[in-house]
Amino acid sequence: MATSSESLTTHLAMHNHSQFLDLSKLHELPDTHTWPDLHSHFDYDLRSQVPVVDLESPDLLRRLGSVCETWGVFQITGHGVPHSLLHRLELQVLRLFSLSAQQKLLALRAPDGISGYGQVRISSLYSKLMWSEGFTIAGSPEEHARKLFPHDHLQFCEVIEEYGRQMKLLAGRLMVLMLEALGLSAEEVRWCKKGFSEATSVLQLNSYPACPDPDRAMGLVAHTDSSLFTILHQSQTSGLQVMAPGEGRWVAVPPLPGALVVNVGDLFHIVSNGRCPSVVHRAVVNRTRHRLSVAYLYGPPANAEVAPVGPRAVYRAVTWPEYLGIKSKKTFDQALESIKLTPRGDDDHTYTAK
């Protein structure tokens, strides 16, 4: 029987070793991580500000509907998630990414797996590597946590699981509010049961170490999320940028103490029949400061079909796994287009698949 060390060696042999460089120890940017043509990398607009929505505001639904339909991204306050939990979460995420490279590789994501340590999934679509590392959690974190912290994994698991519970409640609340803000009913969503209790999620922990040449590196390439929406906690180091509506310009999303970022994903774009755009976003890196973020990607049950709510559907129904498959084979801006329906004949009430 192969030892764990032998299994790790075999696993690594199947991967490009440059994916697992200890970025925090590099003093020069390697060619594997050098991105060409980043002339607009730091050309972003400081005048435009991503909206802030107070979930306790008496004007919540009007405000929420407006920002969903225009920006597709906003920061939320009054969300009820304790600041102390966000602090403990950040400490555990830092603890994880501060482990030695060899220790983190013990929890390396399997080639066909979801959970574990490694580069973000979209890395495989690009010839250059991103200046970041990630750890994905789908379900219980215990199996991988035992490998990362063989003598003390309980605290990590307790914080991650508590955060997951808080996020599930908040995401279910947001789902209902976002639909109501658009004048839609949650009961019209095919898989809605008891406040979306059967929804699924993935937790993505991200680390962006200080970079010796940030002008030529990419923390996370521009993309939209496939989820219904994503709730993001980011440390107090700027790095997140979103595409401003209708302007074609990048806008920084500065961290606000205690606030969480919500960005609309492709599946909610479909549910809203295109009224709420899934936002294009990216992460840039910093020369001197380490940045952390935790993304809670919220989606439907695996086998549930996501379809537009209301009449005159513009998109066909699709499951989350099916859509992920489509997106992995097409460029990001074509995945939604590929499931669009077209008017049938002169009757604009009837649509057919392309």
pLDDT tens figures, 169-215: 999 999 999 999 999 988 888 787 666 778 899 999 999 999 999 99
Higher pLDDT, 21 or 104: 104
Q: Active-site residue numbers?
A: 291
Q: Taking the C-alpha atoms of 17, 19, 23 and 28 in order, what is their torsion angle to the nearest 10 degrees?
A: 80
As beta bridge partners, residue 201 has: 298
Higher pLDDT, 57 or 45: 57
Question: What mean pLDDT value characterizes the chain?
Answer: 88
Strands, E assignment, the chain: 44-45, 52-54, 73-77, 116-118, 133-137, 200-208, 220-223, 229-234, 240-243, 250-252, 260-264, 281-283, 291-299, 305-306, 318-319, 341-344, 347-353
Taking residues 74-96, what's their average pLDDT? 98
Which SS3 state, helix, strand or coil, does residue 75 take?
A: strand
Give 42-303's CATH code, choosing from 2.170.150.70, 2.60.40.1190, 2.60.120.10, 2.60.120.330.
2.60.120.330
Of 12-21, 93-102, 273-282, give the lowest mean pLDDT range. Answer: 12-21
Query: Which tokens in the block code for residue 196?
Result: 């979306």
pLDDT band at 260; cut points 50, 70, 90: very high
Stated pTM of the model: 0.91
User: Residue 268 and residue 274: Cα distance in Å, rounded?
Assistant: 8
